[in-house]
Structure 1
Amino acid sequence: MPVTLDDIRAAARRIGGAVLHTACSRSQVLSRLTGAELFLKFENHQFTAAFKERGALNRLLALTEAERRRGVIAMSAGNHAQAVAYHAERLGIAATIVMPRHTPNVKVRNTRAFGADVRLEGETVAEAGDFAQRLAAERDLVFVHPYDDPAVIAGQGTTALEMLADVPDLDTLVVPVGGGGLIAGMAVAARSVNPAIEVIGVQTRRYPAVHQALAGLPVECGPATIADGIAVKRPGELTLPLIREWVREVVLVDEPDIERAVLQLLEIEKTVVEGAGAAGLAAVLADPERFRGRRVGLVLCGGNIDLLPLSSVIQRGLVRTKRVMRVRVGVPDVPGALADLTRLLADARANVIHIAHQRAFTDLSVRATEVEATVETLGEEHSQAVIRSLREAGYDCLLPDHEPHPREWRGR
């Protein structure tokens, strides 16, 4: 076996003090919502906001003096890049990082801030990896793989040791899966300590490489996903056999599941996670019966998400939970008609965020105008009450996202 419990315990001793022992805390609200006892491992609180520091540092500390002088190179979509760059700078080792061209800006910026020579090459992690391997050979650099390396896997496995030290009676671990380094290390550690514990991996349905490989299917991935940290097309040659041996199953989640999990963690736990970091909670939310009554450990593996995608997740989440609603109505094209509509919305306790009206792109009478209002409500029940108020007042009210455009106006 390429990685053992002894390797992982040695890694824990080696990186201790340089990598944070993050909290593993019970979420009272999420536990109540899901019916499972959920314990969250806040790896997004690491200095570089991701678990990747564990494996990267363990690998760097294993370098010989001659290898340190040569310098290192890594390829990554972001979190491994930041981890290698940060700890290489601490240890006085020159680092070159190759990242895909479309890596989130926050990850590129942070990696450069640690002093690394950052190269943006390729459309995917795999293409960036091919370039990094060629550059490593040309410049005689030590290649630090993000997941397919025994020292990296052992370092990631320290996450499980900490979780079981803090919450010894966990019976399930739900772990995000990209190339498989985190789940491989965690599964070896957890099940070596407690053979009865169940380890479940989670991948996005858009990048199910490990799930497909375990089933003997051709690997087909894409398009883009919010969980870019686990958007990996090539499962590791070392990690895949470990996953096959130690992991119970790998489940798939959809993009809306991940977005909902990101929003709930932000709103309920007041913690920011990237898409990959929310994958474990997404799996529980998507199939609560699978986990009901169990003591489940979730790894919030990273918190590096750009503000624009995070803003979109928040806005889309408010729409899905009916706390933001668009409604379209026809009103007479006379003075005071718009004021009557906004007054009615105010009486219904709907906060108007945006309002617009137009006369050209509609089938309404030329004596009418179409008004579209975006309003903030308290949720689905309140949204329905607002719609009832409008219809009782005589407005022919439509929800543009769900109903067809009116062919005629039957409003006030």
Structure 2
Amino acid sequence: MDRDIGLAVVDDDPLFLDYVSNLLALQGGMRVTCLESETALFETLGQEPFDCILMDYDLGQNNGLSVAERVNAMLSDPPPIVMLTGGGSERTAVKAFRSGFSDYVSKRDLKVTELVGAVRGAVDRHEAARGARARTEALQERLEFNATTGLYDQRFMQARLADFTAPGAARRFAVIVIDIGELATVRAELGYMAGQRLSNAFAAELRNHLSAGDIAGHLGEDGFVVIVDRPAALTDVDTMVQRLRQALTRGFTLDRAQVHLAPQIGVALHPDTGTRGDGLIAAARPATSGEAATVTAFSATTTVGDGAIAPAARAEAQAGQTPITQATERRKERRQRVLRQAKILINGQSTIIDCNVRDLTASGARLRVGSYFAVPAEFDLAIVGTGMTRRVTTRWQIGRDIGVEFVVGAA
């Protein structure tokens, strides 16, 4: 280390204090502050940071071990402490290291090179440890960052809220909670991967409407949380949430399916609403149907892209039915609405899956199975009660709905 070291020397012997401080200032190249008591040390620590503390073991009523404990409790990142003692016993040295002292130097036959080496070595080790902690924290933050969605995971958000609401924290900030109940329906109807794709698409849209400094992350599988730490935004947080709600209410396309999301958004303020992270999230959660909202909550009106949903789709959503609709397609043949039992025969008849035939044309059909599974590219379809078994090719699959085309010439 080439820079000067800011050193506090604490010793209740004025003569030795003057001797050591002059020695370190002249030959060690250090900026030395002389302190004759622990009281002077704590008064100075509150005003001036030090790179290292050189402390006598015997400080009158208290020894250096108890003083060091107070220093470590007082500061979040305390400087390293090197102990000076006239006794030089091995037992005292062991106590010093167990109490967190960085090094130990005996006053007997004191050599300036040894003293300077102990102080500089303590500072070097402390800065190396600080750098290692910073790298570890950066790595941990990357691990807690979802590169796919560009948002933090739930553990990181909980940790940040804990930092923001630590004892004595008086900062004013807002917690916005966004719940998307439709994601559960998408996972059930279209499969888990489709639900994940939709969550990623929504997260990307959310990122586009955040301001610099806002911290956003996941909240379970069906929600997101945003910490807003901008004084200007907090003056009109309701307007901010309204704009966010309008921007995020929209439709998304997944293959042949259109999913209409109507996110529920709520907000809570610290410290007005609460002073604990979990309490703020609970207060900000929008109330579900039939429950009284404890904070401002918004029920979004669904739109698709820049246009409104068709009245039938809106009525379906309001009735609590699926938010998923099939994309409109042009058909070459007239489709017959039917409801017939059928069986999917895979690998001959080694695997048989019950299904219903919903639509039927001369060239194909739309099937619905009881639960989602990945249908093979080609299989046999037996329609119960007709004696007909046809070879079919899978043309599309949206969750439990499967579109098939009859193989021409196959029995």
TM range (shorter): under 0.3
Q: TM-score when scaled to structure 1?
A: 0.22
Greater strand fraction, Structure 1 or Structure 2: 2
